[in-house]
Amino acid sequence: METKIYRMDQQAIQEAAELVKKGELIAFPTETVYGLGADATSEEAVKKIYEAKGRPSDNPLIVHVADRHQIKNYVEEIPPLAERLIDHFMPGPFTIILKSNGKIAPTVTAGLDTVAIRIPDHPAGRNFIRETGLPIAAPSANISGKPSPTKARHVAEDLNGRIAGIIDGGATGVGLESTVVDGTGELPVILRPGGVTAEEIKAITDIAESPARQESDKPKAPGMKYNHYEPDAPMILIDGDAGFFQQQINQFSSKGEKVAVIASNELAEKLETEHIYQCGPRINLKEVAVNLYEALRFFKKTDVDIILAETFEDKGIGQAIMNRLTKAAQDRISQK
């Protein structure tokens, strides 16, 4: 299959939308990462997503719609608390789980009676969804388990020849996936941290305690059960100051291993190492979030044996950063 690259002009978006209506897959930009879109009401179309990504079929997908009026078409009800959350955070990097009314294909919901739904805040992405006239099931447009794509070229690296097309909307703005909140109970539950922080949600309402990572049961949201975001080389998280981080670099290097580093600008300036990706300043973790997946992909074309990554404060957007780094890493070494 030839994968066509579409620009953001209206004719190109309409052409891509027509392909989705015919059951094909189109990758499109959102404000978080690029999504791999299919008609969420079509079993056959959605199955192509799982095939293209190599994604486990018990891992539910998020449904993307163009506006809040569409949400009502696919859920039993929108409780008052969910209405408040939608008012505050949509369009934006926020996904809410509600009771499904059965109109979304079972392959999207992984057989659950709930559906995860959001309105992306990207003009080209929303225009594309609107042109299809459909709810669009769209996980990240990458090979399952690998870092999510924040640029069209990332999608092409993973899925060229597997999908019908890619709408090139440039680099995404948030860089991490949406926050997923279960809105079916009395209080919202954060199932996956993301672009909307827990602190922002707490400013609107109390939240219930988040569940631990699921291992055996069907996950209710993406990112709860399987490993994700893994770079091509094994990655270890390093907790400690610059001196401790340098010791780890030296120890692995002394074993003959070619070491790469992912670090903040501040830490990078203090380290002596050849292969390093500076992902942004610690005083601006939103910039770190934007660059994180690029960092995890950066060493794909270099011959490194191991990646050592800095850790960040686990609050605000740092909670989402650490969620992704922890899922991507094989181990964690902490300074005593």
Q: Is 265 annotated as a binding residue?
A: no
Q: Is 126 annotated as a binding residue?
A: no
Largest CA distance in the chain: 60
Helices 285-298 + 152-159 axis angle, to 10:
30
Q: Is 140 annotated as a binding residue?
A: yes
Q: Is 263 annotated as a binding residue?
A: no
- Residue by residue, DSSP assigns 243-276 as HHHHHHHHHHHHTT--EEEEE-HHHHTT---SEE
Q: Is 254 annotated as a binding residue?
A: no
Which element (helix H / strand E) includes 126? helix 123-132
CA 190 to chain CA centroid, nearest Å: 15
Q: Is 114 annotated as a binding residue?
A: yes
Give the CA dihedral 247, 250, 251, 257, nearest 10 degrees. 150
How many C-beta atoms surround the C-beta of residue 255 within 10 A?
9
Strand order through the sheet with 35-39: 4-6, 165-167, 26-28, 35-39, 136-137, 62-64, 114-118, 94-99, 179-182, 189-192
**Residues annotated in the binding site for ATP, as ranges?**
55, 59, 114, 118, 140, 148, 192, 229
**Residues annotated in the binding site, as ranges?**
32, 55, 59, 64, 114, 118, 138, 140, 148, 178, 192, 229
**Residues annotated in the binding site for L-threonine, as ranges?**
32, 64, 138, 178
